[in-house]
Chains A and B, each alone.
Chain A
Amino acid sequence: QSVLTQPPSVSGAPGQRVTISCTGSSSNIGAGYDVHWYQQLPGAAPKLLIYGNSNRPSGVPDRFSGSKSGTSASLAITGLQAEDEADYYCQSSDNSVSGSRVFGGGTKLTVL
Chain B
Amino acid sequence: QVTLRESGPALVKPTQILTLTCTFSGFSLSTSGMCVSWIRQPPGKALEWLARIDWDDDKYYTTSLKTRLTISKGTSKNQVVLTMTNMDPVDTATYYCARERTGSIDYWGQGTLVTVSS
To the question of whether A and B form a pair in one complex, the answer is: yes
State A45–B46 Cα separation when bound (angstroms). Answer: 12
- Which residues of chain B are near A2, meaning CB under 8 Å? 46
Q: Mark A26-40, 1 if CB is under 8 A from B, else 0.
A: 000000011010101
A100-B49, A106-B47 are contacts. A91–B104 as well, Cβ < 8 Å?
yes
Give B61-110 interface residues, CB cut-off 8 Å to A: 61-63, 96, 100, 102-110
Evaluate contact between A47 and B108: CB separation under 8 angstroms: yes
CA distance A89 to B108 in the complex (A): 14
The residue from A36, A100, A104 contacting B46, defined by CB atoms under 8 A apart? A104
A93–B46 contact, CB under 8 A?
Answer: no
B interface, CB within 8 angstroms of A: 37, 39, 46-49, 52, 58, 60-63, 96, 100, 102-111
Which residues of chain A have C-beta atoms less than 8 A from B61's C-beta?
100
Residues of chain A within 8 A (CB-CB) of B49 are 91, 100-103
| Chain B residue, CB-CB nearest to A48 | B106
Q: How far is the CA of A97 from the CA of B61 in the complex (A)?
A: 9
Within 8 Å of chain B (Cβ to Cβ): is A51?
yes
- Measured in the bound complex, the distance between the Cα atoms of B103 and A101 in whole Å is 8
Q: Which residues of A contact B63 (CB under 8 A)?
A: 96-97, 100
